[in-house]
Amino acid sequence: MLTLAKNALTIELDKAATFHYVWLRDNCPCAKCVHPDTKERILVTHTIADDIAPESAELRDNELLVNWNQAQHQSRYSIDWLAAHNYSDHAFESDSAIGSSVLWGKELQDHIPTFSYQDLRNDDLVLLEWCEALRDYGLSIIRGAPLEEGEIERFAEHVAVVRETIYDRLHNVRATPGEYNAYNVASTTLELKPHTDMPNYNNPPGVQMFHFLVNESEGGHSTAVDGFNVAKQLLEQDPDAYRVLSQTPVHFKMFSARGDIESRNPLLTLDTDQRLKVFRYSNQLAQPANLSIDDMEAFYSAYRKLGRLVEAPENMVEFRLNTGDMMATNNLRVMHGRKAFDPSTGDRHLQLSYMDMDDVLSRIRMIRKAL
The model's pLDDT over 314-331, given as tens digits with 9 standing for 90+, comes to 999 999 999 999 999 999
Q: 234 and 326: one domain?
A: yes
The SS3 assignment for 217 reads coil
Beta-bridged to residue 16, according to DSSP, are 12
Looking only at the bridges linking them, the beta strands covering 114-116 and 139-143 are: parallel
126: Cα separation from own chain's centroid = 20
| 99 located within any domain | no
Q: Which domain holds residue 127?
A: 106-370
Residue 118 lies in a domain: yes
Query: Does the residue 94 lie in any domain?
Result: no
Average pLDDT on 3-19 reads 93
| 180 band by pLDDT with thresholds 50, 70 and 90 | very low
The reply to whether 76 and 111 lie within a common domain is: no
Q: Is it the case that residue 270 has pLDDT exceeding 90? A: yes
In a domain, 96, yes or no: no
d(Cα 355, Cα 280) in Å, to the nearest integer? 16
My answer on whether 12 and 48 are in the same domain is yes
Q: Examine the fold and report which residue of 84, 119, 134 is the final residue of a domain before the chain moves on.
A: 84
CB-based burial, 79-94: b 16+ in 10 Å, e otherwise: beebeeebeeeeeeee
Mean pLDDT of 304-321: 98
Q: Which residues pair with 10 in a beta bridge?
A: 3, 18
Q: How far apart are CA 346 and CA 216, in angstroms?
A: 5
Q: Are residues 127 and 272 in the same domain?
A: yes
Please give the C-alpha separations between residue 51 and each of 24, 29, 43, 114, 178, in angstroms, as whole numbers: 13, 20, 17, 57, 77
Mean pLDDT of 94-114: 93
Do 164 and 221 sit in the same domain of this protein?
yes
Q: Are residues 182 and 34 in the same domain?
A: no
Residues 324 and 361 in one domain: yes
pTM for this prediction: 0.90
C-alpha to C-alpha distances, 363 to 44, 96, 159, 204, 273, nearest whole angstrom: 30, 11, 7, 19, 26
CATH number of domain containing 120: 3.60.130.10
Cα angle 13, 15, 20; round to 5: 70
Question: Considering the domain boundaries, does residue 93 fall inside one?
Answer: no
Residue at 89 is within a domain: no
**Whether residue 51 has pLDDT greater than 80:** yes
Q: Find how far residue 75's CA is from the centre of its chain.
A: 37
Does the pLDDT value for residue 179 go beyond 50?
Answer: no
Give the C-alpha separation, 86 to 129, whole Å.
30
Give CA–CA dist 220/189, Å, rounded. Answer: 8
d(CA 159, CA 362): 9
pLDDT bin (cut points 50, 70, 90) of residue 313 is very high
Average pLDDT over all residues of the chain: 93
Residues 345/218, Cβ–Cβ less than 8 Å: yes
Same domain, 78 and 111: no
Are 68 and 48 in contact by the 8 Å Cβ rule? The answer is no
Per the structure, how many domains does the chain have? Answer: 2
CATH number at residue 30: 3.30.2020.30
Domain assignment present for residue 325? The answer is: yes
Query: Mapping DSSP to helix (H, G, I), strand (E, B) and coil, where does residue 242 land?
Result: helix
CA neighbours within 13 Å on the CB side: how many for 180? Answer: 11
Cα distance between residue 107 and residue 14, in whole Å? 42
Is residue 37 located within the same domain as residue 120?
Answer: no
Helix axes 357-370, 124-137, angle to 10 degrees: 140
CB 205 within 8 A of CB 356: yes
Closest listed residue to residue 22, CA positions, set 81, 92, 87, 79: 87
Q: How far apart are alpha carbons 202 and 339 in whole angstroms?
A: 28
pLDDT tens, position by position, 27-40: 999 999 999 999 99
**For residues 336 and 173, is the Cβ–Cβ distance under 8 A?**
no
Answer whether residue 338 is part of any domain: yes
- Judged against a pLDDT cut of 50, whether residue 279 lies above it is answered with yes
In this model, does residue 48 exceed pLDDT 90? yes
Tell me, yes or no, whether 58 and 187 share the same domain. Answer: no
Identify the pLDDT of residue 96: 83
For 371, the 3-state DSSP assignment is coil
In degrees, rounded to 5, the angle at the alpha carbon of residue 235 between the alpha carbons of residues 229 and 240 is 150
Same domain, 71 and 209: no
Are 61 and 117 in a shared domain? Answer: no
